[in-house]
Amino acid sequence: MFENLKEHPADKILALMQTFRDDPRDDNVDLGVGVFRNAQGATPVMQAVKQAEQRLWQQETTKSYVGLTGDPAFADAMIALLLGDAVARARIAAAATPGGTGAVRQGLELIRMAQPDATVWVSDPTWPNHLSILKHLGVPTRPYRYFDNATGGVDFDGMCADLEAAHPGDVVLLHGCCHNPTGANPTMAQWAELIAQMQEQGLTPFVDIAYQGFGDGLEDDAAGLRMVASEMPETLIAASCSKNFGIYRERAGILLAVGDAGAARDLTQGNLAYLNRQNFSFPPDHGARLVTMILTDAELRAMWQEELEQMRRGMLDLRRQLAEELRRRSNSERFDFLAEHRGMFSRLGTTPENVEKLRRDHGIYLVGDSRMNIAGLNAETVPHLARAIVDAGI
């Protein structure tokens, strides 16, 4: 049987990580892997998480299963974080998942069950796992323009023009904030225009939000998502706790389905439970419980928000330093967009050949589409990167 298996393309980011580890040079800079790092290059455990774990160790009395869709307290805490009071709780079905990736997968499974003929429209570029999961599930997929390489901003006119070809019942996969891999976000006015277009065409938004708090702050980063969920008749939301709580390996995520209240909501909730049962049965609880404790305890939440704000400000400082260093070295303003981007990532908008030149000549490791992890920089490596970019003629 196993001889009939076929090889699949290696994950480009994981392959890049291995190449970096095998590189003998001692001044290499890894800007490929998508995890937060501090100035020392470590991904620390947040103090709020440590304290929550200590309390959990003292208080926990059982390791028995939680429900098929997770602890309702986790759902309530995440709904409050993501949506505030923008949507009535009675309209929302929710299911805990193994990380944000699990939420994306379950959301696409739900789409396939509810609207088998739906095409999912995906930004060009997007997070590679979006396309990989869609292909694996056999879901029809079409791209829409998103990033303007010339300006480093959102190609909003191209985006709207491409989505005009979408049919009623199609799904638009959107990034809630801190767009991965580009770092370029729509303005609130553009969110409003996009909502009007989706309403007119009968499209359903599916919002993937993995970096709330990394851009302009917890509330501002959720503003576009809240506008979408409050004004569209139906919305799917996949959320991750990996980045803003720093619990990558705990795999804490959630899928929300916003629709009509009452029987319609109950039907959706039942389908989410069914999908979890078919895939992994009960979702992991440890990370979700830590998140719940932090979000519902005033002391832990204040500690977490302060730590998150320090991470956010640190990335903004690195962006400004890099943009200023590039302006000084290139004697131009063409890299100023890097300071305007938000979140962990930015896309330089250059060719794979130039990305390879950065790796070969300077030990700078970026993903092939020129995505770089800003959180992988520090005050010492910013000048090295700026010099490499200018020397490469980017």
Stretch (H or E) spanning 195: helix 188-201
Rounded Cα gap, residues 149 and 168, in angstroms: 30
What 3-state DSSP class applies to 93?
strand
What is the set of active-site residues? 127, 208, 210, 243
What 3-state DSSP class applies to 262?
coil
Rounded Cα gap, residues 122 and 145, in angstroms: 9
Alpha helices in 41-86 (DSSP H): 47-59, 72-83
* Long-range contact set of residues 377-384: C-beta below 8 Å, sequence gap at least 24: 377/29, 377/31, 377/318, 377/322, 378/39, 378/40, 378/41, 378/318, 379/39, 379/321, 381/29, 382/318, 382/321, 382/322, 382/325, 383/325, 384/27, 384/29
Task: Please provide the DSSP assignment of 302-331 as one string.
Answer: HHHHHHHHHHHHHHHHHHHHHHHHHHHHHT
Give me the sign of the Cα torsion angle 272, 275, 279, 282.
Answer: positive
Output the six-digit token pair for 73.
């307290």
Tell me how far the alpha carbon of residue 188 is from its chain's centroid: 19
Rounded Cα gap, residues 118 and 140, in angstroms: 7
